[in-house]
Chain A
Amino acid sequence: MQKDIVLGGVGGQGILTIAATIGTAAVNKGLYLKQSEVHGMSQRGGDVMSNLRLSSEEIFSDLIPQGKADIVIGVEPMEALRHVKMLAKDGWLITNSIPFKNIPNYPEIDGVIEELKRFPKHVILNADQIAKDLGSLKAANMVILGAAIPFIGLELSDFEGALKMIFGKKGDDIVNLNINALKAGMKEAEKFL
Chain B
Amino acid sequence: MEILVCVKRVPDTSENEIEVNSEGSDIERDDLVYSVNEWDNYAVEEAIQIIDKVGGSVTVAAIGDDESEEVLRREMAMGADKGILLSDEAFEKSDGRGLATILKATVEKGNYDLILTGAQSDTGAAQTGAMLAAMLDRPYASLVNLVEVIDDSTLKIGREIDGGNQEMHEIKLPCVLSIQTGINEPRYVGIRGIRKVASVEIPTLGAADLGIDTATIGDSGAKTKCIDYFVPVMGEGAEMIEGDTEEIVVKLVEILKSKGGIK
Whether both chains belong to one complex is answered with no
Binding site for A on B (CB under 8 A): none
* A interface, CB within 8 angstroms of B: none
